[in-house]
Amino acid sequence: MQRICIGLILFLTIASGRVRVVTATTDLKDITEAIGGDRVTVTSIARGNQDPHYVEVLPSYMLKVKKADLYLMVGMELDLWSDRIIDGSRNRKLRIVDCSKDIERLEVPTRKVDASLGDIHRFGNPHYWLDPVNGKVLARTITEALVEADPEGRAVFEANLAEFERQVDERLAHWLEEYASLKDRKIMFYHNSWPYFTRRFGLETVQFLEPKPGVPPSPAHLNRLLDIVQKDTILVVGMESYFSDQTPRFLADRTGAKVIKLAQSVEALPGVDSYLDVFDYNLHALAEALGD
Is residue 165 classed as helix, strand or coil in its secondary structure?
A: helix
119 lines the binding site for other proteins (CB under 8 A): yes
Query: Least distance to other proteins from the beta carbon of 188, Å?
Result: 19
Question: Among 9-17, 52-60, 227-235, 256-264, which window interacts with other proteins (CB under 8 A)?
Answer: 52-60
How far apart CA 162 and CA 140 sit, in angstroms, is: 9
| Burial of 282 per CB tally in 10 Å (0-12, 13-18, 19+) | buried
> By rule CB under 8 A, what string of x and - marks binding of each residue 213-252 to other proteins?
-xxx-------------------------xxx--------
Nearer to other proteins, 118 or 256 (CB): 118
Pairing of strands 186-189, 204-208: parallel
Query: Least distance to other proteins from the beta carbon of 150, Å?
Result: 22
Query: Least distance to other proteins from the beta carbon of 87, Å?
Result: 4
Cα distances (angstroms) measured from residue 239 to each of 36, 149, 223: 32, 38, 18
37 lines the binding site for other proteins (CB under 8 A): no
CA atoms within 13 A on the CB side of 89: 25
Identified binder of other proteins from the candidate list 115, 151, 152, 271, rule CB under 8 A: 115
Nearer to other proteins, 80 or 159 (CB): 80
CB atoms within 10 A of CB 25: 27
Identified binder of other proteins from the candidate list 18, 37, 39, 57, rule CB under 8 A: 57
User: Which of 155, 207, 188, 186 has the alpha carbon at shortest distance from 35?
Assistant: 155
284 lines the binding site for other proteins (CB under 8 A): no
